[in-house]
Amino acid sequence: MSSAVAERTIASRALDFLKSPRVWGSVLIIAIGLWATGFNKYDSYVVSLVGLYAVVGAGLVLLVGISGQLSLGHAAFLAVGAYSATNVALHTSWGFVGEIVVALVVSVVIGTLIGLPSLRLSGLYLAVGTLALGYAAQQVMYNWDDVTGGGFGQPASADVIILDRKYPLVQISAIVLAISLVLVSNILRGRTGRALNAIRTATPAAAAVGIEVARRRVLAFTMSAALAAVGGVLYAHAIQRVTPEAFSIDFSIALTIMVLIGGQRSLLGAILGSAFVWGLPEQFRSIQEWKGIVYGVILLAIIVFTPDGIVGAGQKVIVWIKQQTGRGRKEEQALELDIEAAEASLEELAPATPDALTESSIVSAAPASSNGHGGASSHLALTHPGERLVLENVSVQYGGVTAVDSVSFTVEAGAVAGLIGPNGAGKTTLFNAITGLVKSTGSITFGDQDLSNASVGKRVRAGFGRTFQNLSLHEGMTPVQHVLIGAHRHVKYNPFAEMVRWPTVAKREREAEQMARELLALLGLSQVADERADLLPYGLQKRVDVARALASQPRLLMLDEPAAGLPHDEADALLDRVLELTSVTGTSVIIIEHNVELVARVCGYVQVLDAGTLIADGPPESIMRNDRVVEAYLGA
Amino acid sequence: MQENVQLLVSGIQNGIAYSLVGLALVLIYKTSRALNFAQGTMAGFAGYAAYELIVTNGWPWFFGAIGGVVVAALLGLACERIAIRPLLGAPLLSLVIATIAVDSILANVTQLRFGTDVKAFPRVWEGNDFTVLGINVGRSYVIIGIVTLFILAGLAFLLQKTKFGIAMRAFADDQYAAELMGIPPARVSRVVWVLSLMIGGITGILFAPLLFLQLGYMSGVFIKGFTAAVVGGFTSLGGSVLGGLLLGVLEAFCIKYAPSPQWAAMLPLLLILVVLLIKPNGIFARGEAVKRV
């Protein structure tokens, strides 16, 4: 499959480039901008508005749709841009470029300052907090006469001046929109977008592969603030007088509603939403009296019938047409075949020899080249040998309940340890304590690092990786994307290069995807690599969870009930495959499992937890004969 | 001293409105996990309806007010059926947007039906304010205070003593488990919306004579009621009542002592921000929910 990528000719790449929506979309937008220059003043004003609100919308897609943070105060950032424009025009001769730069700088600073505390909030409280900020910002505008001109406002020119030349706003709007969309779409398909999607859909799982949850969320907030400010600069030129009155809470709410109407996870949605919310009402001035009713009814219909907005409705229609013409049905059948093939494939692959594995490009016992420029995809390979994990008196308290009580044990480097115990014994809680998802007392050391009080991120960097009992998959994402999420820490590039999709970024992404497909092939998932993971059968979902953990290249892999819910032979095959991979690299492994026979077969050492305390540890043979263990399991 | 006591009393008088709106919002949030952005407009609509019955149709004040509350209850029922029920289980954002849509529709209907001019709503108990120990107490507020106490007592009785109230609390705690225990979610949701809007309607009518009937006359009160609910932790009924009173009192002192009137206007929002940053679960919230992974 890798050869197909390599053999692509320059011609086919050029064709792909032209076929990409980023390219023809931008061309189309700029063409509309040029065309609209010839419209009458009012119509071209409306087109400019739709364009500038789509810029704001692109930021809100990133924030609301992708990162899952709700803001009801973004009019404040639009105001930052608008007042940057008026002040730069009043006090300097920098022109439009200066206005944009000032707007970006101010909005990034303010956006970060506001984004940081808002991290503490989620859902309802974030909405309320941003609403309050939006309102407070408006009051500041009314009172800060020097900068805003108070309630009277400040004038802005209709013309956009770049290097002493005047350009019509509608053209500039179109160009700015095209640039913004390309930048945001690059972010969305790069590691930043992937990380934000991962955080939104399963936050603990994202943290467990080393995604910096807090930093990414603030980043999303800041980027959306910057885009809103850029929209604000254009807005000032469009309305020509900037007054605080405009930046009301209602305006903020309308901005967020715009992306919901269009489709909150799609940039096309930002454009359609903008056209719908700001363009359409201008066309229906005759029903001004009924505006609220018409708007409300349509909004309600969209929210109730198509949660993904106009774009979602469009997609549904396309699927429906395909089904009617028979093409859809074929696809469904094809998927069923894929799944059958995938379910069968693991057993076929099971007796792979260690030699075959070491030959595979993603598994190598040799340390990766440290500078990251090593050949092929070696730096993405599973190369990290394990270290010695030592737990001493680790305890976890939930309120008054002691879930884990003074547990001490050691897992040697490269060893496979089992953690067994009845339901409620505290096994998963202990995993959560080791990975830092819950607070614990006592000491946890890994190799020579003391991780007792370390953050989740630091523990991931030390080499902790895990699977989840409830799988914690990312809704709507494919197995390939799951693996790339897992590899987040290892697929790195400069964020500015990411925005412009610099060739090195594209190359890195291609390599990472190739690695992902190879890893999925080793777990028998190639047939379904591009299907929605959360819609796959349970057994395959489990493998996706394991693949994500493996992709994070752990030194210590923690598997939480890898066999639960699987038929015996499938569970055996999956675990054997994982242990083959980890034995090549010498990764340490801890397995939580109820299936004692399975544990006895694969683990060299077993710890037994009961009611939060360690009641036995030792080689499986001695554990099986231990009276206390038998008692805990069977009840005396 | 006396001046400050007077501020305290005036603050509490205004705070009652915020408390009632907060109470109505929390009631809905607790059970249908929705935030009713149309609450203010719906309460205002009830005020207009009562005005029409009392002034235009010549009904006695009390019956007109009851009529207005019934209209509010019907609005609640309609909103629940049209905008909330189809979205049961949807994310909060969708529910918020749905109520914003209802708000937009209803505000438009209000304008078409009742016009844009300001109307004076007749007082239930005409006459001068009372003076107790040199403290001025508005005549209307005596009525408002009594009605509020009745509402709180009734609500407490309903939630603590009746079978349906217990079902509601179970539902608020865990919708899924409650459903398994045979509590019909649709009915709980419906009743809660009716109750919430009855409180909203009463608020809209009681405060109509003081605020004058005009388009959006309840929207300021709505924002402050919202603040009250946040300060109270958004899931605590008692908390939102205390939050409303606290806000009213703070506002009264701010208007008197703040350097500019804008500061007084910003107060509710500043209060929200401070509360959210220091205690994200509200001043009166008890304990934190343990997150499960």
pLDDT at B188 over 90: no
Q: Could you report the per-residue pLDDT of B234-292, keeping only the tens digit for each?
A: 778 888 899 999 989 988 888 888 777 767 777 767 777 777 777 766 666 554 443 33
C-alpha to C-alpha distance for A125 and B19, rounded to whole angstroms: 19
| Chain A CB contacts of B113 below 8 Å | none
| Chain A CB contacts of B100 below 8 Å | 253, 257, 299
Interchain contact, B293 vs A428, CB within 8 Å: yes
Question: What integer pLDDT is reported at residue B260 of this predicted model?
Answer: 72
Burial class (CB in 10 A: 0-12, 13-18, 19+), A18: exposed
The pLDDT > 90 percentage for chain B reads 33
Q: Residue A438 in contact with residue A205, Cβ under 8 Å?
A: no
Tell me the C-alpha to C-alpha distance, in Å, between residue A598 and each of A182, A468, A538, A588, A609. 51, 18, 20, 18, 17
- Average pLDDT rounded to a whole number, residues A161-186: 91
Angle at alpha carbon of residue A143, lines to A138 and A146, rounded to 5°: 115
Question: What integer pLDDT is reported at residue A359 of this predicted model?
Answer: 54
Mean pLDDT estimate for chain B: 85
Q: Could you report the per-residue pLDDT of A3-53, keeping only the tens digit for each?
A: 444 456 777 777 877 778 888 888 888 888 888 888 888 888 889 999 999
- Average pLDDT rounded to a whole number, residues B17-25: 93
| Chain B CB contacts of A64 below 8 Å | 93
Interchain contact, B104 vs A127, CB within 8 Å: no
Mean pLDDT estimate for chain A: 84
Taking the CA of residue A134 and the nearest CA in chain B, the distance in Å comes to: 9
C-alpha to C-alpha distance for A377 and A553, rounded to whole angstroms: 13
> Considering only alpha carbons, which residue of chain A is nearest residue B267?
A136
pLDDT band at B63 (very low <50, low <70, confident <90, very high): very high
Q: Could you report the per-residue pLDDT of A569-621, keeping only the tens digit for each?
A: 888 888 888 888 888 888 899 999 888 888 888 898 899 888 888 888 888 88
| Chain A CB contacts of B96 below 8 Å | 127
**Residues whose CB is less than 8 angstroms from the CB of residue A314 and which lie 6 or more positions away in sequence, other chains included:** none
Taking the CA of residue B122 and the nearest CA in chain A, the distance in Å comes to: 29
One-letter identity of residue B153: A
Interchain contact, B280 vs A127, CB within 8 Å: no
Instruction: Give me the residues of A, 269-298, that contact B with CB < 8 A.
Output: 289-293, 295-297
Question: What integer pLDDT is reported at residue A347 of this predicted model?
Answer: 53
pLDDT at A320 over 90: no
Question: What integer pLDDT is reported at residue A379 of this predicted model?
Answer: 46
Interchain contact, A292 vs B108, CB within 8 Å: yes
Question: What integer pLDDT is reported at residue A3 of this predicted model?
Answer: 47
The pLDDT > 90 percentage for chain A reads 30
Interchain contact, B280 vs A428, CB within 8 Å: no
Taking the CA of residue B76 and the nearest CA in chain A, the distance in Å comes to: 16
Q: For residue B221, what are its two tokens?
A: 């009160």
**Model-level pTM?**
0.85
C-alpha to C-alpha distance for A422 and A613, rounded to whole angstroms: 12
Comparing B110 with B172, the larger pLDDT belongs to: B110
Strand partners, A449: A446
pLDDT at B125 over 70: yes
Interchain contact, A253 vs B100, CB within 8 Å: yes
C-alpha to C-alpha distance for A138 and B220, rounded to whole angstroms: 15
pLDDT at A548 over 90: yes
> Considering only alpha carbons, which residue of chain B is nearest residue A142?
B262
Q: Could you report the per-residue pLDDT of A250-265, keeping only the tens digit for each?
A: 899 889 889 988 988 9
C-alpha to C-alpha distance for B77 and A534, rounded to whole angstroms: 37
Interchain contact, A124 vs B35, CB within 8 Å: yes
Q: Could you report the per-residue pLDDT of A123-152, keeping only the tens digit for each?
A: 677 887 888 888 888 888 888 888 888 888
Of the listed ranges A272-281, A400-409, A625-634, the one predicted with least confidence: A625-634
Interchain contact, A300 vs B273, CB within 8 Å: no
Question: What integer pLDDT is reported at residue A528 of this predicted model?
Answer: 87
Taking the CA of residue A524 and the nearest CA in chain B, the distance in Å comes to: 28
Nearest to A300 among B98, B111, B293 (CB): B98
CB of A64 less than 8 A from some CB of B: yes
Taking the CA of residue B108 and the nearest CA in chain A, the distance in Å comes to: 5
C-alpha to C-alpha distance for B83 and A305, rounded to whole angstroms: 11
Comparing A311 with A366, the larger pLDDT belongs to: A311
CB of A204 less than 8 A from some CB of B: yes
> Considering only alpha carbons, which residue of chain A is nearest residue B34?
A124
C-alpha to C-alpha distance for A8 and A19, rounded to whole angstroms: 15
- Among chain B, residues having any CB pair with chain A shorter than 8 Å are 29, 35, 82-83, 86-87, 90, 92-94, 96-98, 100-109, 111-112, 223, 226-227, 230, 234, 260, 262, 265-266, 269-270, 272-273, 276-277, 280, 290, 293
Domain boundaries in chain B? 2-219
| Chain A CB contacts of B93 below 8 Å | 64, 70, 127, 260
Interchain contact, A136 vs B270, CB within 8 Å: yes
Q: Could you report the per-residue pLDDT of B77-122, keeping only the tens digit for each?
A: 999 999 988 887 787 778 888 999 999 999 999 999 988 888 888 8
Q: Is ipTM strictly over 0.90?
A: no
Q: Could you report the per-residue pLDDT of A83-96, keeping only the tens digit for each?
A: 999 999 888 888 89
C-alpha to C-alpha distance for A200 and A217, rounded to whole angstroms: 10
> Considering only alpha carbons, which residue of chain B is nearest residue A299?
B101
C-alpha to C-alpha distance for A482 and A353, rounded to whole angstroms: 26
Interchain contact, B273 vs A129, CB within 8 Å: yes
CB of A428 less than 8 A from some CB of B: yes
Q: How many CB pairs under 8 A join A and B?
A: 110
Interchain contact, B276 vs A128, CB within 8 Å: yes
Interchain contact, A299 vs B104, CB within 8 Å: yes
| Chain B CB contacts of A309 below 8 Å | none
Which one-letter DSSP state was computed for residue A588?
Answer: E
Which domains does chain A possess?
28-285 (1.10.3470), 389-476+534-634 (3.40.50.300)
Query: Which of A300, A440, A561 is the best residue to mutate to test the B interface, defined by the most B CB atoms within 10 Å of its own CB?
Result: A300
Q: Residue A85 in contact with residue A243, Cβ under 8 Å?
A: no
| Chain A CB contacts of B260 below 8 Å | 143
> Considering only alpha carbons, which residue of chain B is nearest residue A435?
B293
Least Cα distance to A178 among A230, A224, A220 occurs for A230
Of the listed ranges A107-111, A189-193, A375-379, the one predicted with least confidence: A375-379
Q: Could you report the per-residue pLDDT of A475-495, keeping only the tens digit for each?
A: 889 999 999 999 998 888 888
Taking the CA of residue A155 and the nearest CA in chain B, the distance in Å comes to: 24
- Average pLDDT rounded to a whole number, residues A363-384: 47
- Average pLDDT rounded to a whole number, residues A552-568: 89
Angle at alpha carbon of residue A65, lines to A62 and A71, rounded to 5°: 80
